[in-house]
Chain A
Amino acid sequence: MIPVRCFSCGTVISGVWEEYRERIKSEPPGKVLDELGVERFCCRRMLLSHVEIVDTLRRYQ
């Protein structure tokens, strides 16, 4: 699951996660982040580097 807030500055970044994940399928991630208002690089890396593994975990429930 995407962390609720940015680790470094505490801004809530998870609110745009689902929109970000949909849009990067067809648009460059940098542009999407700009348009979603994620401006600092600490917050940008939260979304850019996140790997969703909950669905993989579920198989071993």
Chain B
Amino acid sequence: MKVELLELKENRVRFLLKGVSAAFANGIRRAALAEVPNLAIDEIALYDNTSVLFDEQLALRLGLVPITAEDPSVFSLPEECQCGGAGCPGCRLDFMVTVEGPGMVYSRDIKFTDPSVRPVVDTIPLVVLGEGEKVVIEGYATLGVARSHAKWNAGTLCGYKNLPKIEIGPECNGCGKCIAECARNILVLEAERIKVTDPLNCSLCKLCVRACETGAVKVEPVLDCFVLSIEGDGSVKARDMVWMATSEIRKRAEYLGNWLAEFA
């Protein structure tokens, strides 16, 4: 297996995975989507809510706010915590929201008792308050995985495709029909010949193959090579997310191995 990094940003990573099966690439995608633990507001107590939104709507909006910690590894999942899920500083992060109108309640108004924990985006409008309206909310955030609720979705858009292989044969007469057909604009005409500028951007739609009258254009997926694109909501860095997803797969594979060994 070979890995080649294509793009690395805070929230997005794209890399090439060579010599693996589609099941393996899909495993990473699924683990990044559903198994990466991150923080989200779990339970709240509303002491006062005279805003236009119902309590439930406000609770939903709070839950969807992505929350990040400087070092998320110090916290543990409630079911794995040493307190046994009863609630301790290791698995519960208390917060308060106290805002009086008129004005907008933003995600930055969520004040955690732990100074290293904060919402990823400060400017999410939670609710707009009119004259004399007020919200007083207390609650806690916990670690969780997206398998149990979408609010813990650290990986937002994760996908993969086969590496496209585009070949231009000697039959090419430079008519340029494939250039007009390509939706991603990756083909150019250079000295009477078609040239591919960015094969990674190809969506394997094969419109160019259909447009070519001489049959010179060939587009094939490389079956054991994948372009993985992992994007997150900012609560976990994309780089860490791939790492956490793969460690989760490894943990499960080890568990399965040990379990099967009992029968051997």
A61 interface residue per 8 A CB criterion = yes
Contact in complex: B125, A18 (CB < 8 Å) = yes
Of residues 86 to 126 in B, which have CB atoms within 8 Å of A's CB atoms?
Answer: 104, 107, 120-126
Residues in chain A near residue B104, CB distance under 8 A:
18
B66 interface residue per 8 A CB criterion = yes
Q: Which residue of B lies closest to A16 (CB)?
A: B123
Name the distance in Å between B119's Cβ and chain A's nearest Cβ: 9
Q: Could you mark each residue 64-87 of chain B with 1 if its beta carbon is under 8 Å from any beta carbon of chain A, else 0?
A: 111000000000000000000000
Complex CA–CA separation, A11 to B238 (angstroms): 13
Residues in chain A near residue B26, CB distance under 8 A:
none
Interface size on B, residues (CB 8 A): 26
Name the distance in Å between B5's Cβ and chain A's nearest Cβ: 21
Contact in complex: A14, B124 (CB < 8 Å) = yes
**Interface size grouping (class) on chain A:** 20 to 34
Contact in complex: A1, B125 (CB < 8 Å) = yes
Q: Could you mark each residue 11-32 of chain A with 1 if its beta carbon is under 8 Å from any beta carbon of chain B, else 0?
A: 1101111110000000000000
Q: Which residue of A lies closest to B235 (CB)?
A: A12
Residue among A1, A9, A57 making CB contact with B156, cutoff 8 Å? A9
Q: Which residue of B lies closest to A6 (CB)?
A: B156
A55 interface residue per 8 A CB criterion = yes
B153 interface residue per 8 A CB criterion = yes
Contact in complex: B53, A1 (CB < 8 Å) = yes
Contact in complex: B64, A4 (CB < 8 Å) = yes
Q: Could you mark each residue 50-61 of chain B with 1 if its beta carbon is under 8 Å from any beta carbon of chain A, else 0?
A: 001100010001
A48 interface residue per 8 A CB criterion = no
Complex CA–CA separation, A12 to B232 (angstroms): 10
Contact in complex: B125, A17 (CB < 8 Å) = yes
A54 interface residue per 8 A CB criterion = yes
Contact in complex: A10, B125 (CB < 8 Å) = no
Residue among A10, A16, A58 making CB contact with B150, cutoff 8 Å? A10
Q: B residues engaging A (CB < 8 A)? A: 52-53, 57, 61, 64-66, 104, 107, 120-128, 130, 150, 153, 156-157, 231, 233-234
Q: A residues engaging B (CB < 8 A)? A: 1-2, 4-5, 9-12, 14-19, 40, 54-55, 57-58, 61
24 contacts between A and B (CB under 8 A): A1-B57, A1-B61, A1-B125, A1-B128, A2-B125, A4-B64, A4-B65, A4-B124, A5-B233, A9-B156, A9-B157, A10-B150, A10-B156, A11-B156, A11-B233, A12-B65, A12-B234, A14-B124, A14-B125, A17-B125, A18-B125, A19-B123, A54-B127, A61-B52
